[in-house]
C-alpha cells in the first residue's frame, strides 16, 4: 500500500529544518531503522555529502539513520532495498536530470507504488506529480524529459504564493503561470502553501496541515480546498 | 551593425504597455515603416492575433505598422525581409519551443546580428542571451534545446527581484536561483530590474534606464552596475 508524505516545504519561517514535520515523520517511518536520502536537487549548489549530513542530523532526533544514495555503488539496488526514502528540495531540473541519468526514475516510482514509505519536500514533492512542469525552479540544466514519478494523478506547485495586492512587480503571479500551463495542458495543479502536505495512504489522498490549498483546473476558476480535504478523486 | 534594445519588462507599474519605452523605440525603429512581431510567448495564454493587436495599437502611436509572424506563410522569409523585429514577453519555454519548431532560431539570430533592429521585452529579452536557463518562467512545454539567440555573450534575468528582508516565504530568492545556475554553468548573468534595458550598438553594450543592474559571476559576490555602465567586455 502506498504510504507517502508530499510536503510543500522542508522548513517553515522561524523553524528549523524539517522541525514542523518531525512528529508526522516519526509515525510515517515508524518501521524504519534507516532511510535512503536522495540529495540530487542540491539546494544552493551544496554537495551531496553536506546535504545528507544536514538531513541525518534531523532524523537522528527521531532515531532514524540516513544514508545518501550517492554512497551506494548501485543506485537502483539502493532504491529497491531501502526501508524508507526521502527526496529533499533544491532545483527540480537538476533532480530530474540526475534521476534519469542514474536510470532510477522508473524504479523509484515502482518502489514507492509498491509500498516503501516516501517523503518528498519541495523539489522532492514536485516529482511526485505527473510532470515537473509546474515547478518554480530555474532551468539550470536540461533534463531528458519533464515526466516524473506519477505517484499521484495530478501536478503540484509547492511553495504556492498568493498574489500580493500591493506589489509593483510586473512579473507573472503564480496563478498566471499556472494559467499559462493550462493553455497547453489539462492536468490539474494543486498549489500547496508552505505548511501544507499531502498524505497518501493507498488510494486515499488527504490534505494536511493548518492551511487550505488552491486547486487549478483547466478552464475553471481556482478553488480553495480546506485542510483534511479528500483529493482521492482528483485527476 | 547590430542595433538591439533588450528590456527587462514591457510595462512599468502604473504605466501602459510599452509606454516608458516609446521615446526610445521611436528612435530605435526610425527607419521602419513596419515591424515584424513575434507573439509566440503568448502571455496568459492569449492568441497570437490578440497579442499582435495589442502591440499594433501601441506602435500606431509612433506611426509604425505591425504584422504578426503567424500571418506570414513563410516565417523564415518574414524574418529575413523584416525592417525591424519585436519579440514580446510571456512564457520563455513556449517561445523557444516555437522558434525551434518553426525553424527560425538561427535565421533570427543571423538577421539581427546583420543589423535588422530588434526589440525584446521579458521572454523576448531572455532569448537574446546564450541560453534561456536563467528565465523565471514555468516549463509549461518541453523545448528541444535551451540554447537561444546569443546576441550578447552572457545571460539575462529579466524582472530581476531583490530579496525581501521581511519575507516569510521559504522558496528560493532570485539570487539563490542564479547561484544554483552558477554551480553548473560559468556564463555571467545580468539581473535586469524592471525599467532597465540594454542598448546594443555594434559591439557596444550599455545599461540604460534609471536603475542599477545586478551582475552575477560564477564564484564571485554579486556586483551592482550603475546605469550607463559599459558591458561590452562582459563575457
> Tell me, what's the ipTM?
0.94
| pLDDT for A169 | 87
Distance of CA B97 to the CA centre of its chain: 16
Residues of chain B with pLDDT below 70 are none
Q: First vs last Cα of chain A: how many Å apart? A: 19
Q: How far is the alpha carbon of B222 from chain A, nearest alpha carbon, in Å?
A: 15
| pLDDT for A167 | 86
B45, B163 contact by CB (below 8 A): no
Distances (CA, A) of A82 to A33, A68, A111: 10, 11, 9
Chain B residue at shortest CA distance from A142:
B146
| Rg of chain B, C-alpha, whole Å | 17
Of B136, B170, B176, Cβ closest to residue A44: B176
> What whole-number distance in Å separates Cα of residue A224 and Cα of residue A217?
12
Neighbours of B186 (CB within 10 A): 9
Taking an 8 Å cut-off on Cβ atoms, the answer to whether B181 and A138 are in contact is yes
Neighbours of B70 (CB within 10 A): 18
| pLDDT for A39 | 98
* HEC sequence for chain B: CCEEEEECCCCCCCCCCCHHHHHHHHHHCCCCCEEEEECCCCHHHCCHHHHHHHHHHHHHCCCCEEEEHHHCCCHHHHHHHCCCEEECCCCHHHHHHHHHHCCCHHHHHHHHHCCCCEEEECHHHHCCCCECCCCCCCCCCCCCCCECCCCCCCEEECCCCCCCCCCCCCCCCHHHHHHHHHCCCCCCEEECCECEEEEEECCEEEEECCCCEEEECCCCCCEEECCCCECCCCC
| pLDDT for B197 | 98
| pLDDT for A164 | 83
Q: What is the pLDDT of residues A83-108, one digit of tens each?
A: 999 999 999 999 999 999 999 999 99
Q: What is the pLDDT of residues A175-226, one digit of tens each?
A: 999 999 999 999 999 999 999 999 999 999 999 999 999 999 999 999 999 9
Torsion angle, alpha carbons of A210, A212, A213, A219, to 10: 180
B91 touches chain A (CB under 8 A): yes
- Confidence band for A168, pLDDT divided at 50, 70 and 90: confident
Q: What is the pLDDT of residues A18-41, one digit of tens each?
A: 999 999 999 999 999 999 999 999
Q: What is the pLDDT of residues B37-92, one digit of tens each?
A: 999 999 988 999 999 999 999 999 999 999 999 999 999 999 999 999 999 999 99
How large a percentage of chain A has pLDDT more than 90?
A: 94
How large a percentage of chain A has pLDDT more than 70?
A: 100
A127 touches chain B (CB under 8 A): no
- Which chain A residues are Cβ-neighbours of B168 within 8 angstroms? 13-14
| pLDDT for A107 | 98
B38, B124 contact by CB (below 8 A): yes
| pLDDT for A183 | 95
- Which chain A residues are Cβ-neighbours of B14 within 8 angstroms? 168
Of A93, A137, A181, Cβ closest to residue B140: A181
Say if strands A3-7 and A118-121 run parallel, antiparallel, or are unpaired: parallel
Average pLDDT, rounded, for chain B: 96
Average pLDDT, rounded, for chain A: 97
- Which chain A residues are Cβ-neighbours of B136 within 8 angstroms? 138, 171-172
Q: Which domains does chain B have, with CATH numbers?
A: 3-225 (3.40.50.880)
B76, B103 contact by CB (below 8 A): yes
Say if strands A197-201 and A189-191 run parallel, antiparallel, or are unpaired: unpaired
Taking an 8 Å cut-off on Cβ atoms, the answer to whether A13 and B135 are in contact is no
Taking an 8 Å cut-off on Cβ atoms, the answer to whether B140 and A133 are in contact is yes
Indicate left, alpha or beta for A189 from its phi (over 0: left) and psi (-120 to 50: alpha). beta
> What whole-number distance in Å separates Cα of residue B72 and Cα of residue A84?
56
A184 touches chain B (CB under 8 A): yes
- Which chain B residues are Cβ-neighbours of A145 within 8 angstroms? 142
Tell me the catalytic residues of B. Answer: 122, 137, 159
| pLDDT for B167 | 86
A102, A66 contact by CB (below 8 A): no
B173, B214 contact by CB (below 8 A): no
| pLDDT for B168 | 87
- Which chain B residues are Cβ-neighbours of A184 within 8 angstroms? 45, 94, 140-141
B77, B104 contact by CB (below 8 A): no
Amino acid at each position: 500500500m502506498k504510504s507517502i508524505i508530499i510536503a510543500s516545504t522542508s522548513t517553515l519561517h522561524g523553524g528549523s529544518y524539517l522541525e514542523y514535520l518531525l512528529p508526522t515523520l516519526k509515525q510515517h517511518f515508524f518501521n524504519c531503522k534507516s532511510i535512503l536520502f536522495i540529495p540530487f536537487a542540491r539546494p544552493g549548489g551544496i554537495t551531496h555529502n553536506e546535504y545528507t549530513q544536514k538531513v541525518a542530523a534531523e532524523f537522528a532526533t527521531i532515531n532514524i539513520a540516513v544514508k545518501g544514495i550517492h554512497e551506494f555503488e548501485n543506485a537502483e539496488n539502493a532504491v529497491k532495498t531501502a526501508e524508507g526514502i526521502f527526496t529533499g528540495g533544491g532545483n527540480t531540473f537538476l533532480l530530474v536530470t540526475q534521476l534519469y541519468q542514474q536510470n532510477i526514475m522508473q524504479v523509484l516510482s515502482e518502489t514507492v507504488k509498491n509500498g516503501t514509505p516516501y517523503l518528498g519536500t519541495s523539489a522532492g514533492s514536485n516529482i511526485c506529480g505527473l510532470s515537473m512542469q509546474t515547478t518554480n525552479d530555474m532551468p539550470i540544466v536540461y533534463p531528458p524529459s519533464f515526466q516524473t514519478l506519477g505517484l499521484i494523478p495530478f501536478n503540484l506547485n509547492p511553495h504556492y504564493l498568493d498574489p500580493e495586492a500591493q506589489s509593483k512587480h510586473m512579473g507573472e503571479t503564480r496563478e498566471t503561470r499556472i494559467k499559462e500551463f493550462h493553455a497547453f495542458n489539462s492536468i490539474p495543479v494543486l498549489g500547496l502553501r508552505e505548511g501544507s502536505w499531502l498524505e497518501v495512504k493507498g488510494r486515499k489522498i488527504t490534505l494536511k496541515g493548518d492551511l487550505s490549498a488552491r486547486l487549478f483546473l483547466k478552464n475553471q476558476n481556482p478553488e480553495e480546498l480546506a485542510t483534511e480535504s479528500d483529493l482521492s478523486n482528483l485527476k
